[in-house]
Chains A and B, each alone.
Chain A
Amino acid sequence: MNESVSLLAAILFPVLSGAVLLLLKKLNDRRKVLIYAGIAMGIAGVLILNALLGKEKEILLFFLTEDIPIVLKLDNMGKWFLAIMSLIWILAGIFSFPYMKHEGKERRYFGFYLITLGAMAGLGCAGNLVTMYAFFEFLTLASFPLVIHNQSREAVMAGLKYLFYSLFGAYMALFGLFFLCRYTDTISFIPGGTLNMELAKGNESVLLLAACLMIVGFSVKAGMFPLHAWLPTAHPVAPAPASALLSGVIVKAGVLAVIRVIFYEFGADFIRGTWVQYVFMTLSLITVFMGSMLAFRENGLKKRLAYSTVSQLSYILFGIALLNPVALTGSLLHVAGHAVIKCALFLCAGAVIFQTGITTVDGLKGIGKKMPVTIWCFTIVSLGLIGIPPTGGFISKWYLAVGALESGIKGFQYAGPIVLLVSALLTAGYLLPVTIKGFFPGTDFDYGETKKCEAGAAMTIPIVILAALSVLIGMFPNTFIEFISAFTAGLM
């Protein structure tokens, strides 16, 4: 296939097939919807794989205004995110097939699920800030129906909260972008930044303000304090596979956007040592700690996982904020690790809800006897998130801590690793009780009544694959690290 067409196809096919599914009233039969969605997902996966395997390429679609082109370009950073996003998307999609029986309205769900992939692909392929902004907004709008899927009052309110926080953040970023446009030669993504230093001279304070607005604005999607409140509200109300997608990869859109802003527009050198870096580091560390604390106190299983996302995403943001290659490598590894792990955790929670209807941690007593495979997988990925070798979490946290220590930024050099350690402890505190309650329900537990009720293969297999992946990333990280460090080195 023609090189440039492959990018366009990867974006357009999911969007169009999703739109067709939404518009075709005749596909109201559950079986037909599933067959259609399955085929569409397969083709979309192949198209994205095709785009990923090709060379780095660029297409200019059209000009929005005279100096703002809409450009698609897939570089290695984009490939890394797109690969993770589409992998998780497919696994959560497979899980959805049986799961959505329990929520209903499959046609609408799969329609928007497909469109969401198109938006994510566009985000990964975006070649300049405005293109990325467009897909960023599109992703918010496309994923919104997934949040309000069951249309209870609670879900709708949560959905609105999600919508307004996301749009608000995007608009903050947009205004930063307006300032930025005046001082750059081009808004395309160029490793090392596009800032025109002659124009920027004397206007540093305005530019730093713009940088701060853009970083904080895009981090809203990644749930950074102080605009994190939407995340624990919106993620748990969605159907479990949609929560997995939201918590696993859609939040990463914010991470990608922040990376693009810092390393591809402003340039790391411009931000390094300024108040913006300190604000960014402080906010992310606060979020790491606060998210873990809140997760520790929460009893609802899915909500606990959502708080955990808040905390874990800020690990990634902290790694970015340190502005050194080692920490950035750690961040990018954690993007993959967290995506796999969080998706697995949400799918486990979904399997439990589907089979037993239990939604709280306290209700999980003895669940290990009923659903051993699910809870075993839950345990394995929990260990990964805590950061116990040989799982993926260990490697990324190692890089993050080393990066912090090497950075030599006064205060944060030590505060960072300490907060990370404390938070890891808290992570153990909020994830392991599920395993403990599940396998060791206590002496007064009546084993007589428990029956095995493992979920079906279509639900279990994605969970097992994810759990295996989380371990594999930890055991053979070198391929990934080599791939990442090859392009992170050029960013600073």
Chain B
Amino acid sequence: MEFLRNFPCFSLILTMCASIVSSGMNGKWARRLNIVVIVAVGLLSSAALYLTVTTNQCYVYKMGRFPAPWGNEIRFGVLETLMALFFSIIMLLSVLGGRKHLFEELDPFKENLYYVLVNLLMSSLLALIYTNDLFTAYVFVEINTISACGLIMIRESGHTLEAATRYMIMSLIGSGLLLFGLCILYGITGHLLMSNIKEQVALLVATDQYHIPLVVAIVFIVVGLAVKSALFPFHSWLPDSYGYSTASSAAILSSLVSKGYIFLLIKVFYRVIGFEIITESKILNVLFVFGLCGMIFGSLSAIKENDIRRMIAFSSVAQIGYIYMGFGLRTEAGIIASVFHIFSHAASKSMLFISAVGLTDVSGKSKKFLDLTGAGYRNVIAGITFTVGALSMVGVPLFPGFISKILFARAGVSVPLNRMLPTLICLAVSTILNTVYFMKTVLRIYTPVKTDYINIKWKENLCCGIVCIFFIILNIALGMYSEPIVELISRGIAMFA
């Protein structure tokens, strides 16, 4: 059992080594290595999850056994390992689901580069999840940004280059703000390790010192991460980069990359600043308002969109808004709902991206709604998968989206009226808007029409079909058996503090 506590560290090192090794391989072997690595990470994380659940405590792993000021720490509890497990599942499904497209859209000589980036991204996500050191977190935020940029522009078309540039600029602004915040925090506390900073911050607040620098640091960190995870007014980069990149990239970016930052933000709330201090500072009110705006405006933009991929991307803006709204409720229940929404949105959104590509494939590669008419009959499994994803997004019972909504609404009704009413009203309005554009799309893909496009046979795209089935199973499992997951989340949050 004791040996299991090394596993998170192993998984980090494994992914990093794999990315180095695969840079020297050809595409085929890099792909195989990548799959092996992701599966291995999944297994390692589930072993670590087993350890934390059975012993019910969290572990601090000192890199090289050097103590705090010099060494670097990994800290993991139930939530971290659960998140790592879930991320590796989604990563595996996303990479496999878009495999056929990678062959078509990538320069064959650059195929191994793609897997280098995927491995690098996975390692940075794991580091963001596990690390207990703010500066390490910053370094991996940058690695994450760079590899995400690479994933967007590896297709090398005009659109993706532009999208990647926009993404780069916005992301660097976010990282810059984050760095400022970290510097100030380091300046006033003298530490970089999360647990040490928290002690010092508590001391500073108790003695009422450095009030303004502390608030400024919090604001910089929160806004920086919000920009990177595409909270409402900073979302302009998102539709292009999700809409034009290759299918796997879109699925990975939408369901994992932005969630990694959000997870870091939760860690900052609980482990760096302390939840009470965060709730007393007014920053959560700002997140609340922008989250609500995101829920509405994201959906409105999605309704206006005429391109299925961009529509799904705009829907992400709305869903990110849900998560920030959960933070803004300033209660534990709100955070739990947000964390669950990270799971449910990741599962549904990556599924939507993968199935949307299946639909556009049988419509002459066109993403316009008019050409997608009847696509659900031409590619049956993609059509069903898309419908399941849409139902989940709309919030039909037995799918994960419904559970998120229940959790948000129940968190919402237990806060004072001035927060409760906006929460419930925006939830209702955004649900209706979601219904409008997702049902419109489902209806469109099931409207029979006579076209020259060929129907796709089950055997021709076996890999994608199987991935779709796994996605459906994952979603339905999340929707029907959410109880243990919610329980694990609340245990994990309790361990955070």
Residues of A within 8 A of B (CB): 62-66, 68, 130, 133-134, 137-138, 141, 148, 151, 156, 160, 163-164, 167-168, 171-172, 174-175, 178-179, 181-182
Query: B436 at interface (Cβ–Cβ under 8 A)?
Result: yes
Residues of B within 8 A of A (CB): 391, 394, 396-398, 403, 406-407, 409-410, 412-414, 424, 427-428, 431-432, 435-436, 439-440, 443, 447-448, 480-483, 486-487
Contact of A167 among B424, B432, B448 (CB under 8 A): B432
* Contact A64:B396 (CB < 8 A) given known A167-B432, A171-B432, A175-B424: no
Chain A residues within 8 Å of B424, by CB: 175, 178
In the bound complex, do residue A63 and residue B432 qualify as a contact, i.e. CB atoms below 8 Å apart? no
For A134, the closest partner residue in chain B by CB is B397
In the bound complex, do residue A65 and residue B439 qualify as a contact, i.e. CB atoms below 8 Å apart? no
Contact of B413 among A151, A168, A172, A182 (CB under 8 A): A182
For B432, the closest partner residue in chain A by CB is A168
In the bound complex, do residue B486 and residue A62 qualify as a contact, i.e. CB atoms below 8 Å apart? no
| B contacts with A: majority SS | helix
- Give the docked Cα–Cα distance between A447 and B119 (Å): 85
Can you name 22 A-B pairs with beta carbons within 8 Å?
A: A62-B480, A63-B483, A64-B403, A64-B480, A64-B482, A64-B483, A65-B406, A65-B407, A65-B486, A130-B397, A133-B397, A134-B398, A137-B396, A138-B396, A148-B443, A151-B448, A156-B443, A167-B394, A171-B432, A178-B406, A178-B409, A178-B410
For B436, the closest partner residue in chain A by CB is A164
Chain B residues within 8 Å of A130, by CB: 397
- Give the docked Cα–Cα distance between A130 and B414 (Å): 19
* Contact A137:B447 (CB < 8 A) given known A62-B481, A65-B486, A66-B487: no
**Shortest beta-carbon distance from B109 to chain A in Å:** 42
- Give the docked Cα–Cα distance between A130 and B398 (Å): 10
Contact of A66 among B391, B412, B427, B486 (CB under 8 A): B486
In the bound complex, do residue A179 and residue B397 qualify as a contact, i.e. CB atoms below 8 Å apart? no
Chain A residues within 8 Å of B443, by CB: 148, 156, 160
* Contact A163:B432 (CB < 8 A) given known A64-B480, A64-B483, A178-B412: no
Chain A residues within 8 Å of B394, by CB: 167
In the bound complex, do residue A175 and residue B481 qualify as a contact, i.e. CB atoms below 8 Å apart? no
- Give the docked Cα–Cα distance between A156 and B412 (Å): 36
In the bound complex, do residue B432 and residue A65 qualify as a contact, i.e. CB atoms below 8 Å apart? no
For B377, the closest partner residue in chain A by CB is A25
For B398, the closest partner residue in chain A by CB is A134
- Give the docked Cα–Cα distance between A163 and B439 (Å): 9
- Give the docked Cα–Cα distance between A124 and B480 (Å): 21
- Give the docked Cα–Cα distance between A181 and B413 (Å): 10
- Give the docked Cα–Cα distance between A156 and B481 (Å): 35
In the bound complex, do residue A178 and residue B483 qualify as a contact, i.e. CB atoms below 8 Å apart? no
In the bound complex, do residue B483 and residue A175 qualify as a contact, i.e. CB atoms below 8 Å apart? no
Chain A residues within 8 Å of B436, by CB: 164
In the bound complex, do residue A171 and residue B428 qualify as a contact, i.e. CB atoms below 8 Å apart? yes
Chain B residues within 8 Å of A64, by CB: 397, 403, 406, 480, 482-483
For B405, the closest partner residue in chain A by CB is A174
Chain B residues within 8 Å of A66, by CB: 483, 486-487
* Contact A141:B412 (CB < 8 A) given known A62-B480, A64-B483, A178-B424: no
In the bound complex, do residue B482 and residue A151 qualify as a contact, i.e. CB atoms below 8 Å apart? no
Chain B residues within 8 Å of A167, by CB: 394, 432, 435
Q: Besides the contacts A163-B435, A179-B413, what 12 more A-B pairs have beta carbons closer than 8 Å? A: A64-B397, A65-B483, A65-B486, A66-B483, A66-B486, A134-B397, A148-B443, A151-B447, A171-B432, A178-B412, A182-B410, A182-B414
In the bound complex, do residue B396 and residue A141 qualify as a contact, i.e. CB atoms below 8 Å apart? yes
